[in-house]
């Protein structure tokens, strides 16, 4: 084994742990914004603002997909 190789393995493990933690925080933030967007749309149901409701639901779906993608990234970073 080369002298520096254990240092590289440890450094990669630290980077993965750090990346995983940051990805987790970002995923939580995305999920929080998804819930907030959904909360904005709910009181508008039945109002004449169909375009706004549709845009908010589209945004909620996009944020849900982003959250899932971040969860996949978090699993890969471990």
- Write out pLDDT tens, residues 2-29: 555 555 445 555 657 788 899 999 999 9
The pTM (predicted TM-score) of the whole model is 0.76
pLDDT score recorded for residue 18:
85
Look at residue 31 in the predicted model and tell me its pLDDT.
Answer: 98
Q: Crossing angle for the helix pair 50-77 and 5-41, nearest 10 degrees?
A: 160
Segments making up each domain of the chain, as ranges = 28-78
**75 exposure class (CB count in 10 Å sphere: 0-12, 13-18, 19+):** exposed
The per-residue pLDDT for 15 is 58
């Amino acid at each position: 084994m080369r002298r520096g190789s254990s240092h590289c393995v440890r450094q990669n493990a630290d980077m993965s742990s750090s990346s995983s933690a940051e990805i987790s925080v970002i995923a939580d933030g995305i999920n929080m914004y998804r819930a907030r967007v959904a909360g904005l749309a709910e009181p508008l149901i039945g109002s004449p603002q169909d375009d706004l409701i549709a845009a908010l639901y589209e945004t909620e779906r996009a944020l849900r997909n982003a959250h899932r993608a971040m969860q996949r990234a978090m699993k890969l970073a471990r």
